Amino acid sequence: MTGGRRLGCLLGDGIGPEVVPAARRVVDAALSAAGAPAVEWVDLPMGAAALAEHGAPLPAPTLEALAGCDGWLAGPHDSESYPPQWRASGQRVPGGELRHVFGLHTNLRPSRTRPGVPARVPAMDLVVVRENSEGFYADRNMAVGSGEFMPTPDLALVVGVFSRPAVRRAVRQAFALAARRRGQVTLVHKANVLHLAFGLWLEECRAAAREHPGVRLETVLFDAMAARLVRHPERFDVVVTENLFGDTLSDLAGELAGALGMSGSVNAGDRHAMAQAAHGSAPDIAGQDVANPVGMVVSAAMLLAWLGERHADPVLAAASSAVEQAVDAVLASGVATRDVGGTAGTAEFTDAVVDRLSAPGAAAPAVGRPGA
Ligand code: ATP
C-alpha cells in the first residue's frame, strides 16, 4: 500500500455522532499500530443536520465527494423525525439512496457471540448475506418512484423486484464466503407461495451448489427460519436471502448474539463500500454517552477487510483482524456498555479498544476470521 485510503465520514442522526467518531478513532489506531498510512478522512453532511443546513438529508455535494472516496463510515438516519413534507415526498431514505446511487448490492451482516457478553444462546457465528438492491424494498431498484402506488386512498400496492443477475450476484457471494468459512449456505425463501420470485433464488442456489461441491446447501422457508434461528442459531453459517428478509433475520440474529448494538454491517458494491452498523438511530439514548459503539466499530473493521481484499493489501486485513481481537479482548476484560450488562460509556469503551490496539504487538497478522 503506497498512500492512505480516502474515507468519507457521515455522522447521521441519533447516536451516529457518538458511534461514528468512535469507529473512526479505532480505525486510526488500528492502522497506526499496523504501520499503515493514515486515512484521509472526508467529513460530509448527512441526516437531519444536513436537511436543516443544506435542504436535503443527503446533499448533492456529499454524493459527489463520496464518489471520490474508497469507502465511508455512515451513521444511522432517523427519517421519521424529518419534516412531514420531506416524508411525503417519497424520496429514498439516506441509507437507501446511498445503496442505490453507489450500487452497494450486497449487505454482509455477521452475528456472533462474543466473550463476556451475555447472549440469549450458548454460541453462534453466522453471516447474513442480504441482497441489497431490490427484493421487497423495491424503492431501491426504481429509476423513479418508490415502488409503492396508491390508486385510491384505501388501496396500496407494493412492487417486489427480483432479477436473475442480482440474485446470482448475492448467491455467488454467499457460496464464496461459505467456502472460506464452515461450508454451509442456507437459502431463506418463500417459494411455496411466491413460486416465480423465489424460484429464481432456488435455481441460482442449486447452480452455485453444483459449482461448489464443498459447500452444503439447505433451503428454509422464511417463517420456519424465524423459529429455527431462535432454537438453533449455532447450526447456521452463511444465510443468503432477499432484502427485507435479510434485514429482519439479521436483526434477530444480532439480538440473539447479545444486542442489536453489537452487530456490524458492510454494504459492498463493485467500487465502493459503506460501513454502517445494523442498528438504527436509537433516538431514545442519543447524546447520553451510553450507546454501544461495537456495531459501528466492527462495521469499520469489515470495511478495512473489504478494502484489504479489493486492493490485495494484507496490512489492511491485519488491521481489520486486530480491531476484532481488540473488541473481544476489551469485552472479555469486563468493560462493556450498559445494553450488554456493563457500566462503561461510549467514550470509555472506545478508549479501552484504542488502548488495546496501541499496546505493543496489537496489530497481529491477519488470522482470517472469515466474514467477520
Ligand atoms: P430504525 O427504524 O432506524 O432501525 P429502531 O428504533 O427500529 O430504528 P434502533 O434505533 O436500532 O431501532 O433501536 C432499537 C432499540 O435498540 C432502542 O431501544 C435502542 O436504544 C437500542 N439500541 C440500538 N442501537 C443501540 C446501540 N448502539 N447501543 C445501545 N442501544 C442501542
- Is any atom of ligand 1 closer than 6 Å to the C-beta of 291? yes
- Is any atom of ligand 1 closer than 6 Å to the C-beta of 279? yes
- What per-residue confidence (pLDDT) applies to 138? 77
- Is any atom of ligand 1 closer than 6 Å to the C-beta of 295? yes
- What per-residue confidence (pLDDT) applies to 1? 44
In three-state secondary structure terms, 72 is strand
> pLDDT, tens digit, for every residue of 185-235?
999 999 999 999 999 999 999 999 999 999 999 999 999 999 999 999 999
pTM over 0.85: yes
118 vs 341: CA distance, rounded Å? 7
Which cell is 77 given?
438516519
Question: pLDDT under 70 in the chain at which residues?
Answer: 1-3, 361-372
Using most ligand atoms within 8 A of CB, pick from 279, 284, 348 the residue to mutate for ligand 1: 279
**How far apart are the CA of 146 and the centre of ligand 1, in A?**
25
Which residues are known to be catalytic?
137, 190, 223, 247, 251
Using most ligand atoms within 8 A of CB, pick from 285, 289, 338 the residue to mutate for ligand 1: 285
Residue whose C-alpha is closest to residue 128's, from 301, 257, 273: 257
Which CA distances in Å does 203 have to 44, 208, 216, 219? 42, 9, 15, 11
**How far apart are the CA of 355 and the centre of ligand 1, in A?**
27
Residue 207 CB contacts under 8 Å (≥ 6 apart), including other chains: none
Where exactly are the structural domains of the chain?
A: 1-106+260-372, 120-256
- Is any atom of ligand 1 closer than 6 Å to the C-beta of 16? no
Q: Check if 1-106+260-372 and 120-256 are the same fold.
A: yes
77 vs 293: CA distance, rounded Å? 16
> Nearest C-alpha to atom 13 of ligand 1 is from which residue?
282
Please tell us whether the domain made up of 120-256 is placed in CATH 3.40.640.10: no
Helices (H), the chain: 16-34, 48-54, 60-67, 84-88, 94-101, 164-180, 195-211, 222-231, 243-257, 294-310, 314-332, 346-358
Q: Is 88 exposed, middle or buried (0-12, 13-18, 19+ CB in 10 A)?
A: exposed
Of the candidate CATH numbers 1.10.760.10, 3.40.50.10210, 3.40.50.2300, 3.40.718.10, the domain formed by 1-106+260-372 belongs to 3.40.718.10
Residue 316 CB contacts under 8 Å (≥ 6 apart), including other chains: 1, 5, 31, 34, 36, 304, 305, 307, 308
- Is any atom of ligand 1 closer than 6 Å to the C-beta of 20? no
Nearest atom in ligand 1 to 279's CA: 11
In three-state secondary structure terms, 108 is strand
